[in-house]
Amino acid sequence: MLNTLVDEDGFIRKLRVSARVKDRTYYSLSVMAVSAYLGKEPSAVASDLRMVIDTRFRRYMDFEDRYFYIDYKVRQHQRDSAVPVVSFYDVLHDMERVKAGRGADLFKDSIVLVYPAAEVGHDIHLTPLGKMPGGFVHINGIINILSGGTVDSPGYIPVVLLCVAAAALSFAVRTDNVQKSILIFTAVIGFNIFVPLVLWKFHIKADFVQVIVFSFVFFASAGIYRVADFLARLSAIKDRATVDPLRGVYTLRYFRYRIELEARRRRLQAIMVHLRDFRAHTDDMPIDRLKEIWSRIHGLLSNVNSFWAIYSPEEAVGFSAQRRERLEVVLVSLQERLTRLLREMGLGVEVKICAAEYTRNSNPFDSLAALARQARSLAANVLMSSDIPPPGEKPDAGQPSMAQPQILDSLAEDIEEKNRQLLSLYEKLKDEHDKTKEAFYQIITSLVNALEARDPYTQGHSLRVAEYALLVADKLGWPPDQKEKLRKASLLHDLGKIGIPDAILHKKGQLTDEEFGFIKQHEIFGVNILKPLKEIEDILPWILYHHEKWDGTGYPHGLGGDAIPIASQIIALADVYDALTTGRDYKKSLNRQEAVDIIVKGKGTHFSPQLVDLFVSVI
Ligand SMILES: [Fe+2]
């Protein structure tokens, strides 16, 4: 038992847990216990444990640190207790006397509890098992005693390596998922407790302090990584949201946020650069050229030590913390260089620059509007104006005050603005697309008209073929885009006849083999004519194969059965039906039933049997 000092009423209220030995060094209770148990000098144990309270550090340590406070009453133990009570210091310094007085076998086969030699009155703690009596003991001290040895200190290098590994591990398992985080947290805690236990089993002792350091580094580095990652992402989002993509300078809303922020710290001069008639010169300019011009303008602006944003398509606005006199010189030079640059690029644009001290208390939008008005009506090239807004231009009371701008609000507004711009761009593109589509229909109509103008007997043939083909497609349940393609293919299926000489096309009576060979080329002519139109390249095979037959005796390639695109098969049916019912040249026209009979005869030879049934059911 440990000798302790008692208060006047016989209770112990504080307990010394370090002991001083002859070299005036203080050792913890754990060191003293291990040293007594192993029969080693405390200094030898302490050099491994690093638990020594070194005299060199004493001046940095609060004397009170060496005391362990107990806030309950402990009554000094009765001498006649059944439990033998021996002074810890007697054991340490005069074991022989203890043995003589209490018997040589006092500690033989005994568990020795080192504890205050007093009765514990209220040593109750809340534990997972309920309220239990007990005390706190240094955990490494307990390990030392239980394992019969001392913890080897691995030195600094393994600890540093362990920390690096912890940081790498936390990076590898980083996640934004809460459930996963909880799982990883539990796993790491479990791992940290489990590994030392396993190591002790193999008589390798790990230091719990290092385990705690490992855990701490693991979670701290994961936290630091997340914060750094968040900030990097925020910065990327900020740049994306706040930079005008065309001009490469900041947006006005972000500018407003920045100028208000900066104006709290120092005096600022607001600068308005007006490029007179810039729009008139650049409105019809290709976007790449405009981007290049703005990139060069931006290059000159950024030479001036200031922060720039776009105010309008003809104005850039900036602020600078330079003194007025110095700024004036800089702005005169900027005006000259900008004028020269724009002239070199072939733009007759006048450059006017107006600057004035920015007054924090005014509404920033009103101030900048006033400055822009001044710049627009400026006769001189550069003007250092009085404070803005000028006399008579009171801030608009209706505008909300921006006394406390928030970056997130500013970002949200910028993103909204960009969304609006994107929507309007999308509408424009849609308009363009509709116009292109319209022009394309006109091309098809013109081609069909050109074809039919050559052969009055085929007037309306293409339109009717399209009509019949769509009846079949409807029955087959084709989606609208497929039907639209079929309509185009039907309209254009005979376009190649444009390339066939009149003598053959309009010949009455039997064609020679050579002439028929020419006619057979019309699908290929058609495809060659239409090839440059990328919009319809996927319907070219439908046109090419509209004279193929189910039994493989058709042309141009002699395809048969399902090798013929189904759209071509549909067009073939519609084509033949219309030819039969309208009559061509020397043939008389047939009625529906007569035509259907002929088509049904072609079932399985000229046409697909299923498609014939379908066609007959819709026609
Ligand atoms: Fe044809």
Per-residue pLDDT averaged across 308-314, rounded? 86
Cα of 478 from ligand 1 centre, angstroms: 23
Give bridge partners of residue 42 from the DSSP assignment: none
Whether residue 165 sits in one domain with residue 100: no
Rounded to the nearest integer, the mean pLDDT of the chain is 75
Would residue 5 count as lying in a domain?
no
Whether residue 213 sits in one domain with residue 143: no
Cα of 549 from ligand 1 centre, angstroms: 13
Q: In the listed set 147, 171, 192, which residue is the last one of a domain according to the structure?
A: 147
How far is it, in rounded angstroms, from Cα 50 to Cα 151?
Answer: 10
Whether residue 24 sits in one domain with residue 124: yes
What percent of the chain lies above the pLDDT cut of 90? 17
* Residue 143 scores a pLDDT above 50: yes
Cα of 441 from ligand 1 centre, angstroms: 21
Whether residue 293 sits in one domain with residue 217: no
Cα of 476 from ligand 1 centre, angstroms: 23
Per-residue pLDDT averaged across 248-257, rounded? 81
Whether residue 128 sits in one domain with residue 160: no
Whether residue 321 sits in one domain with residue 450: no
How far is it, in rounded angstroms, from Cα 354 to Cα 256?
Answer: 18
Would residue 419 count as lying in a domain?
no
Whether residue 445 sits in one domain with residue 353: no
Would residue 342 count as lying in a domain?
yes
Whether residue 285 sits in one domain with residue 378: yes
Would residue 278 count as lying in a domain?
yes
Segments forming the whole domain that contains residue 366: 267-392
Q: Which of 62-66, 188-192, 426-430, 530-534 has the lowest mean pLDDT?
A: 62-66
Whether residue 230 sits in one domain with residue 165: yes
Cβ atoms of residues 330 and 322 within 8 Å: yes
Cα of 402 from ligand 1 centre, angstroms: 73
For the domain that residue 463 is a member of, what is the CATH number? 1.10.3210.10
Q: Give me 180's structure tokens.
A: 């996963």
Over residues 267-302, the pLDDT tens digits come to 888 899 999 888 888 877 777 888 888 889 988 888
Cα of 484 from ligand 1 centre, angstroms: 20
Whether residue 563 sits in one domain with residue 452: yes
Cα of 177 from ligand 1 centre, angstroms: 64
Total domains in the fold of the chain: 4
Cβ atoms of residues 102 and 85 within 8 Å: no
Q: Provide the 8-state DSSP code for 256.
A: H
Cα of 474 from ligand 1 centre, angstroms: 23
Cα of 470 from ligand 1 centre, angstroms: 17
Over residues 329-350, the pLDDT tens digits come to 999 999 999 999 999 888 888 9
Cα of 553 from ligand 1 centre, angstroms: 15
Would residue 307 count as lying in a domain?
yes
For the domain that residue 322 is a member of, what is the CATH number? 3.30.70.270
Cα of 494 from ligand 1 centre, angstroms: 5
Cα of 615 from ligand 1 centre, angstroms: 18
Residues 36, 38, 39, 42, CA torsion sign: negative
Cα of 523 from ligand 1 centre, angstroms: 7
* Residue 211 scores a pLDDT above 80: no
Would residue 563 count as lying in a domain?
yes
Residues 109, 115, 120, 126, CA torsion sign: negative
**Residue 16 phi/psi, 5° resolution?**
-85, 125
Over residues 518-560, the pLDDT tens digits come to 888 889 999 998 888 888 888 999 999 999 999 999 988 899 8
Cα of 517 from ligand 1 centre, angstroms: 13
Whether residue 273 sits in one domain with residue 217: no
Cα of 493 from ligand 1 centre, angstroms: 6
Amino acid identity for residue 443 in this structure: I
Cα of 603 from ligand 1 centre, angstroms: 19
pTM metric for this prediction: 0.40
Q: How far is CA 533 from CA 235, 430, 439, 441, 526, in A?
A: 46, 20, 12, 12, 12
Would residue 545 count as lying in a domain?
yes
Would residue 399 count as lying in a domain?
no
Cα of 44 from ligand 1 centre, angstroms: 107
Give bridge partners of residue 120 from the DSSP assignment: 74
Whether residue 283 sits in one domain with residue 139: no
Cα of 515 from ligand 1 centre, angstroms: 15
Cα angle 254, 257, 259; round to 5 = 105
